[in-house]
Amino acid sequence: MSRATPTQAFRALERRLLARRAAELGLRLWLVTATLAACVAAFTYWQVRVPLDGARRHGGVPAATRRLATVLGAFALAGGALAAWRRRSLASAPPGPEWLALPLEPARIERHLDAEARLPALGAVVPAAAACLAGVGLLPVWALALLALGFALALALATRLACALVLLAAARAAGPAARLPAAWRALVSVRSPAAARRLLPARFRTESPARALARLDRAVSLRAGPPRARLALAGGALAAGLAAWPAVGEPFQARALAFAAFALACAEMGAWAAWRAAGDPPAAVRPLPLSLGDAWRARAGALAALLGAVLVTHALAAAPLPPLARLGLPLAWALPAALLPLLGLHLGLSLPGRPATAEGLYIAWLATALLASVTIPLLGWAVLLAACAQATRRLPRWNAPEPV
Adjacent-strand bridge partners of 136? 139
**27: contact with another protein by CB under 8 A:** no
**205: contact with another protein by CB under 8 A:** yes
CB 209, min distance to another protein, A? 5
Cα–Cα distance for residue pair 91/95, rounded to 1 Å: 9
CB 210 within 8 A of CB 301: yes
Cα–Cα distance for residue pair 208/188, rounded to 1 Å: 43
**301: contact with another protein by CB under 8 A:** no
**28: contact with another protein by CB under 8 A:** no
Adjacent-strand bridge partners of 258? none
Q: Which stretch binds another protein (CB under 8 A): 12-20, 47-55, 305-313, 394-402?
A: 394-402
Q: Which of 160, 215, 326, 394 binds another protein (CB under 8 A)?
A: 215
Cα–Cα distance for residue pair 185/126, rounded to 1 Å: 36
Subset of 266-295 contacting another protein (CB under 8 A): 280-284, 286-291
Output 293 or 308, the one with its CB closest to another protein. 293
**199: contact with another protein by CB under 8 A:** yes
Subset of 216-235 contacting another protein (CB under 8 A): 216, 219-220, 223-225
**174: contact with another protein by CB under 8 A:** no
DSSP conformation class of 136: B
CB 194, min distance to another protein, A? 5
Cα–Cα distance for residue pair 64/135, rounded to 1 Å: 8
**What does the longest C-alpha to C-alpha distance in the chain come to?**
84
- Listed in sequence order, the residues at least 6 apart from 183 whose beta carbon sits closer than 8 Å to its beta carbon are 105, 106, 107, 109, 110, 167, 171
Output 159 or 221, the one with its CB closest to another protein. 221
Cα–Cα distance for residue pair 228/251, rounded to 1 Å: 33
DSSP conformation class of 201: P
CB 396, min distance to another protein, A? 11
Q: Which stretch binds another protein (CB under 8 A): 142-150, 191-199, 234-242, 338-346?
A: 191-199
Q: Which of 180, 212, 248, 325 binds another protein (CB under 8 A)?
A: 212
Q: What Cα–Cα distance (Å) separates residue 377 from each residue in 47, 225, 260, 368, 374?
A: 15, 36, 15, 13, 6
Using DSSP's 3-state secondary structure scheme, residue 277 falls into: helix
| Number of chain positions touching another protein (CB under 8 A) | 41
What is the residue type of 48? Answer: V
What is the residue type of 240? Answer: A
Output 189 or 375, the one with its CB closest to another protein. 189
Cα–Cα distance for residue pair 24/397, rounded to 1 Å: 22
**213: contact with another protein by CB under 8 A:** yes
CB 254, min distance to another protein, A? 38
Q: Which stretch binds another protein (CB under 8 A): 8-16, 94-102, 188-196, 243-251?
A: 188-196
Of the candidates 223, 250, 222, 13, the one whose C-alpha atom is nearest the C-alpha of residue 113 is 13
CB 399, min distance to another protein, A? 7
Q: What residues line the site for another protein (CB under 8 A)?
A: 193-207, 209, 211-213, 215-216, 219-220, 223-225, 280-284, 286-291, 399-401, 403
